């Protein structure tokens, strides 16, 4: 159930990521439960033992061990040969995909704005920690668009520029034309982005996931995310819905009762509907069942799924929900 409202959208870096929020999330980090075998030096340390600069533990010397790693101080004191073990540097990727389709341009604030703000905050956290950060948008007028992986705080404005362009395009009065192949398009886009990953890390998709056919139609997208998970990526869905989509009763003061003509923002199809209190109650049960089924289908594939209402302050999502959910630390 989609109600559009004309609202100004962020147009600057500071509007997309306020300095006050940047300062609060500056020390956070993206958490991966996978074991990493790093390729490049970075701030993060992996769990694989190798030759690096950070001491981890000792082990008894065995013939064939590198004598350069013998701790001669212990040998002098205890007359025992032991080898020093180190943690190897970890190189982690962070891949963020944002749904910019027409259905996202609803809610107050819009789901589109919320998702882009959240994506910017997550990207900033990854950049500050020297992770490889790539951001993609899909479903908008330009189809799948993706920013090449970047590192470091200095690239935050490049990420912001990409997201601001995506946000402006999705918020324009003339978004992508209506289409009937919504499920196929969604699945293909998510699969394309998931396949672009490299190395190891975390992938996060922000979308309302309003797809004809329900959870059953999302099989290819969920399987693509599951494949990323089996390839040493932690994968997450942030299911972004507006308050009105979760509970249309909140729109009664806008006349959402009686005989109405409702038009789907994605397909352009219209339907004549008599909206009553009982219909709203049935809808509410259906949307709750859908969010529950989506979470279960994702969990069965090793994907974490979180309901992220667009009315949630981004700082609450980042500092509370995702930290408690084990996505951030």
pLDDT tens by residue, the chain, 329 residues:
444 445 678 989 999 999 999 999 999 999 887 644 444 444 554 544 444 445 556 778 777 677 888 899 998 999 889 887 654 446 789 999 999 999 999 998 999 999 999 999 999 999 999 999 999 999 998 899 999 999 999 999 999 999 999 999 988 766 566 666 889 999 999 999 999 998 889 999 999 999 989 999 999 999 999 999 877 899 999 999 999 999 988 776 666 788 888 888 887 888 999 989 899 999 999 999 999 999 999 999 999 999 999 999 999 999 999 999 999 99
Residue 105, pLDDT score? 93
- Give the pLDDT confidence score for residue 36 in this predicted structure: 47
Nearest CA to 246 out of 164, 310, 317 is that of: 310
CA distance 168 to 100: 10
Task: Judge whether 126 and 150 are in contact, CB under 8 Å.
Answer: no
Nearest in space to 17 (alpha carbons), one of 122, 116, 113, 120: 120
How is residue 264 written in tokens? 């789907």
Q: Residues 251, 4: contact at Cβ < 8 Å?
A: no
- Please give the model's pTM, rounded to 2 decimal places: 0.83
What CATH number does domain 13-34+91-324 carry, 3.10.150.10, 3.40.640.10, 3.40.50.410, 3.90.1150.10? 3.40.50.410
The residues pairing with 93 across neighbouring beta strands, listed in sequence order, are: 132, 201
Provide the token pair at 171: 């918020």
- From-to residues of CATH 3.40.50.410 in the chain: 13-34+91-324
């Amino acid at each position: 159930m989609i109600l559009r409202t004309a609202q100004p959208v962020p147009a600057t870096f500071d509007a997309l990521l306020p300095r006050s929020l940047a300062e609060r999330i500056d020390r956070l980090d993206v958490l991966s439960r996978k074991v990493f075998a790093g390729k490049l030096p970075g701030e993060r340390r992996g769990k694989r033992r190798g030759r690096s600069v950070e001491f981890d533990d000792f082990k008894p010397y065995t013939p064939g061990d590198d004598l350069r790693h013998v701790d001669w101080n212990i040998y002098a004191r205890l007359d025992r040969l032991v080898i020093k073990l180190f943690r190897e540097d970890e190189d982690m990727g962070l891949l963020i995909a944002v749904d910019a389709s027409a259905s996202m341009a609803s809610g107050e604030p819009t789901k589109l704005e919320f998702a882009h703000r959240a994506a910017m905050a997550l990207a900033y956290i990854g950049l500050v920690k020297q992770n490889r950060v790539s951001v993609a948008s899909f479903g908008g007028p330009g189809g799948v668009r993706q920013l090449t992986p970047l590192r470091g705080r200095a690239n935050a404005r490049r990420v912001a520029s990409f997201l601001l362009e995506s946000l402006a395009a999705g918020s324009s009065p003339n978004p992508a034309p209506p289409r009937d192949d919504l499920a196929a398009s969604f699945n293909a886009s998510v699969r394309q982005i998931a396949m672009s990953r490299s190395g190891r890390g975390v992938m996060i998709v922000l979308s309302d996931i309003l797809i004809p056919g329900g959870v059953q139609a999302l099989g290819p997208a969920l399987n693509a995310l599951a494949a990323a998970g089996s390839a040493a990526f932690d994968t997450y869905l942030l299911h972004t819905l507006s308050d009105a989509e979760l509970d249309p009763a909140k729109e009664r003061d806008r006349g959402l009762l009686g005989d109405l003509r409702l038009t789907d923002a994605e397909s352009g199809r219209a339907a004549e509907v008599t909206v009553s209190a009982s219909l709203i109650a049935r809808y509410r049960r259906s949307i709750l069942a859908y969010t529950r089924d989506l979470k279960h289908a994702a969990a069965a594939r090793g994907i974490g799924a979180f309901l992220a209402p667009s009315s949630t302050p981004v700082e609450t999502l980042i500092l509370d929900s995702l930290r408690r959910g084990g996505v951030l630390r």
